[in-house]
Structure 1
């Protein structure tokens, strides 16, 4: 069993309520600092408070997403969002001011604290008192997306399914069954289209106000600063989109043509994109959630004993909730528990191949959580998404050489690897679409729902629109963006998947050439947390932080060649 790290500043039985927290923030604010050693102790004490708050919030979020219909869990989450976070925000700003104003700040180790202090100064620059109630309202509104989508279910035949469970039918070799399932799922999503449009309109309006209050023209420019994007600009993102359009879309267009011919169809429809072209039933790498966890422990153990032990620790401490059920929020995540030093993995398994890759993806995040658990300050563990997703997407590829744990049949194993490598390439255009759509949304803050729909369709079609014929299903095409949780809950967190996907291919390339060295470089990079720049972390992993057209082409050619070998 694992336990929270012993506290040195706050009591072990400390209850997270504002009346208990306020004296701590007052003490930190008023404490006399007479040396650089005092300042470092102050940083450690502040970090301990932040870790306790983060873990408390984590469990509120985890429990709420595991059961979105439970009103008590929702209220517990909203208490933190409305009664604690708004009061903490100005206190944190005061503590940041105390830190940067300290006479001893220049005596701190520059290499150790540079990234951290850079983030503190940026937070001070962006802080506005008038944004606190807006950010609280945004937090509460965002949660509504989980409640709306978590309640979605459909009946196929005489049985009720969550949408994740129903999506299994999209792999059925019987085209009529695929079509029926797709139309049933789509019709259910469209029932809540207006409600989700209204929710997003409100979120867009609130976010724009936050940006204006912070003296930005739009929320896009504000978020580039708030996310700490010190290493690239919006223009770099547009160039990355163009590189994907030029180098990746043609490969996928050819693959779609091959699919159409293999299925002997006049055109591909949206329900033809997931079925195996061999005519064989969908891959079934495990039987249920427990089997998925056990096989994943074995898979990770075969790569490295250390990796397998991390998942075993999570299993022993009940830090998984993997099976889909009604009332559970959609999607999947790895949530770090700041004090415990371990994570919680949440996902919606429906016993499909995609669930296998979700598990190894979140397992990569989990390993990252363990590797950074002992970093001195809590903030050192707050990796930017470009690094966090490198951890997870690399693990998807590194783990492939041990997927025989999931597949007894050699041909099924080959199918799984081909599907995974195809998905690696397929990820990139979708990332470009979602990212470019968000650029458009927030740089056109006064747009109407109709204009937003038109913008979505134009962007999606530019990147191939999934290479399916949507002519008879325009309403479904127009509504696809509502499936993407990130657009509602974590705006602008998406381009990082594309950057990290390139990095992951490069990590995998190194691993294939020298497994021991490649794995060690990957782990060494993750151990850094966020104590170095993104570029330095990528270099530690033995790869480049690069998303130029030439690099996209080089790595796409490598993936294509590996697909051809299988």
Structure 2
């Protein structure tokens, strides 16, 4: 965590992803952008006559599908090149061009859904009979028609699509300010050594045993965000107003209703989550009290949240060690699954370490027809091992889905997107806990699980409440200012952490740095996915191959059913509160186990 970050060209090639698997050279990228735009123009030739006959519909959808395939490649390549070094002007330009082309294609294709909606069920059935090949697009057509009440006229669909590029401006502005322009001061630790802060290094610094360093870093880091609080507020306000434009245009009652309907999820699923978590505040407050006790502090502050409660034990895990651990932890998923993991390690699917200008955080991405990619900012912590298996879960979900389904049928909904990743995390937790060689190591692993649970089930639900409250404020005409946003966030933080935690004033600005607030109600799905994953991992460890086979069937299903029905394949029923309540019981069991170790 000390010293300068390497420049991109100083990073060892083996630790970078091989984007040449998508395009060997950028001339091929240029060609695909041009071809995709040309296909969009060709698709426009069917405007007004798309549904004149079955053959027209089939040929147009073929063109549309090919344009989507090319877009997946050129957009995926450009955004990953951009994320390698967000200050690189060449790749900034390429990313902007890719985004612009993507939105142009969407705008030109915007007539398709309104015209498909003009078909009667009887006519559509006859079309399937006349051109049997059309059945390959049945799921896509069904999804278009599911949202029939919210699809506009062709002219209005084109207008909404043309506004899409403007609608991305707040998110693009957030990324550029956060990753490229925002520079953090360095701080000194308790021995006077300089520690350079960055978005990627903040959490590892907050995990340091040096409390003086944690406090200084916390205040300096959030102090920097506070300096730009009005800019962050303007960006977030723009994001919410863009959602309001879209939800009103599509005749939804709220931004939240529009977001969950797009994922084919009942809003009651999220309502049950928030209600169950509120009922489980006692467990969260018990966790905070345990943390205060084990850290032996008179006051527990927000800069004490990430450090391990086990003060006399630490784990530093190299990347090579992390790969070995991951293979052992994921062994219950079978040889086929492990084979894909090894392919990822051996064929440079992963961009491993942080460099100057690199996008913060971690993700899984890629291009249909190639293979998934993973971006990491690996810092040799136990948390990084969990991040590795998390992103691997995303990637292998994508791998299975894309090998079994066409591009449109492979695109699983966001609601189930976090299940495979968190299932891997739960399997890793059980493996490490079972293999612990001492009381201290076991406690250290349980500490990590408690922290993960707090971060995923409680924290992400808190994020969801912030997003819902602030969207509702804007929908009522209340201004979203730095002061009003910070007040909402600060009060939620106090409610969730309880009276044993000192909610330092700087934490009021944490909302400024959360990229997921620009993902349109994404965050609650981390919590529902975590609950589902606890159940799935338990079945895999207890039942073995039958449970693994059902789980892999889920991974291969893409978006062939609604998300809640897909989870039922893997044995999880989110139409009830049971998965959330069961997960809270597991959290309580881990709390009791930790309390027992330190009676």
Give the TM-score taking structure 2 as reference length.
0.82
| Counterparts in 2 of 1:216 and 1:543: CA distance versus 1, 3 Å | closer
Q: Is the 8 A contact 2:294 2:309 kept in 1?
A: yes
Distance 1:371 1:496 in 2: 21
1:117 aligns with 2:134: no
Q: Alignment partner for residue 350 of structure 1, among 359, 379, 385?
A: 379
In the other structure, the counterpart of 1:185 is 221
Q: Is the 8 A contact 2:222 2:509 kept in 1?
A: no
In the other structure, the counterpart of 1:66 is 84
TM-aligned CA deviation for residue 239 of structure 1: 3.5
Q: Tell me, what secondary structure is at the counterpart of 2:373? A: strand
In the other structure, the counterpart of 1:557 is 585
Q: Tell me, what secondary structure is at the counterpart of 1:335? A: strand
User: Which sits farther off after the overlay, 14-23 or 173-182?
Assistant: 14-23
In the other structure, the counterpart of 2:238 is 202
Q: Tell me, what secondary structure is at the counterpart of 1:120? A: helix
1:130 aligns with 2:159: yes
Distance 1:390 1:504 in 2: 6
1:213 aligns with 2:246: no
TM-aligned CA deviation for residue 148 of structure 1: 1.4
In the other structure, the counterpart of 2:392 is 363
TM-aligned CA deviation for residue 383 of structure 1: 1.0
1:171 aligns with 2:203: no
Match runs of 1:99-498 below 5 Å: 99-101=116-118, 105-106=124-125, 108=128, 115-122=139-146, 125-127=150-152, 128-151=157-180, 152-156=183-187, 157-225=193-261, 227-228=262-263, 230-233=264-267, 235-247=268-280, 249-284=281-316, 286-288=317-319, 292-293=322-323, 295-297=325-327, 299-300=329-330, 303-340=333-370, 342-403=371-432, 411-412=440-441, 415-445=444-474, 446-448=477-479, 449=481, 450-464=483-497, 468-470=501-503, 473-474=504-505, 476-488=506-518, 490-498=519-527
TM-aligned CA deviation for residue 508 of structure 1: 1.5
Q: Is the 8 A contact 2:107 2:162 kept in 1?
A: no
TM-aligned CA deviation for residue 200 of structure 1: 1.7
TM-aligned CA deviation for residue 334 of structure 1: 0.6
Q: Tell me, what secondary structure is at the counterpart of 2:110? A: helix
Q: Is the 8 A contact 1:48 1:378 kept in 2?
A: no
- RMSD across aligned C-alpha pairs, in angstroms? 3.4
Q: Is the 8 A contact 1:81 1:140 kept in 2?
A: no
TM-aligned CA deviation for residue 301 of structure 1: 5.2
TM-aligned CA deviation for residue 43 of structure 1: 4.1
Q: Is the 8 A contact 1:146 1:330 kept in 2?
A: no
Q: Is the 8 A contact 2:51 2:116 kept in 1?
A: no
Unaligned runs of 5+ in 2: 1-17, 23-27, 188-192, 595-599
| Counterparts in 2 of 1:302 and 1:237: CA distance versus 1, 3 Å | closer
Distance 2:367 2:435 in 1: 29
In the other structure, the counterpart of 1:8 is none
| Counterparts in 2 of 1:358 and 1:78: CA distance versus 1, 3 Å | same
Q: What's the CA shift string for 1:333-375, capped at 9, x where partnerless?
A: 11141121x1111122222222111111111111111101134
Give the TM-score taking structure 1 as reference length.
0.86
Aligned length: 549
Q: Is the 8 A contact 1:457 1:478 kept in 2?
A: yes
TM-aligned CA deviation for residue 411 of structure 1: 4.5
TM-aligned CA deviation for residue 482 of structure 1: 1.7
| Counterparts in 2 of 1:477 and 1:97: CA distance versus 1, 3 Å | same
Q: Is the 8 A contact 1:283 1:353 kept in 2?
A: yes
Q: Is the 8 A contact 1:28 1:46 kept in 2?
A: no
| Counterparts in 2 of 1:41 and 1:519: CA distance versus 1, 3 Å | farther
Q: Alignment partner for residue 109 of structure 2, among 79, 92, 95?
A: 92
TM-aligned CA deviation for residue 413 of structure 1: 5.4
Distance 2:443 2:46 in 1: 58
Q: Tell me, what secondary structure is at the counterpart of 1:323? A: coil
Distance 1:278 1:220 in 2: 40
TM-aligned CA deviation for residue 465 of structure 1: 6.0
Distance 1:3 1:36 in 2: 39
Q: What's the CA shift string for 1:13-69, capped at 9, x where partnerless?
A: 942126533444246669988986886676455323212112211111111122110
Q: Is the 8 A contact 1:319 1:343 kept in 2?
A: yes
| Counterparts in 2 of 1:277 and 1:405: CA distance versus 1, 3 Å | closer
Unaligned runs of 5+ in 1: 6-10
Q: Is the 8 A contact 1:433 1:463 kept in 2?
A: yes
Distance 2:291 2:441 in 1: 18
Q: Tell me, what secondary structure is at the counterpart of 1:328? A: coil
| Counterparts in 2 of 1:378 and 1:4: CA distance versus 1, 3 Å | farther
| Counterparts in 2 of 1:213 and 1:267: CA distance versus 1, 3 Å | same
Q: Tell me, what secondary structure is at the counterpart of 2:422? A: helix
Distance 2:436 2:73 in 1: 37
1:53 aligns with 2:84: no
| Counterparts in 2 of 1:518 and 1:231: CA distance versus 1, 3 Å | same
In the other structure, the counterpart of 2:551 is 522
Q: What's the CA shift string for 1:225-279, capped at 9, x where partnerless?
A: 3x23x3312x5423321210112x2112112112212222222011222222231
Distance 2:294 2:63 in 1: 62
Q: Tell me, what secondary structure is at the counterpart of 1:130? A: helix
Q: Tell me, what secondary structure is at the counterpart of 1:374? A: helix
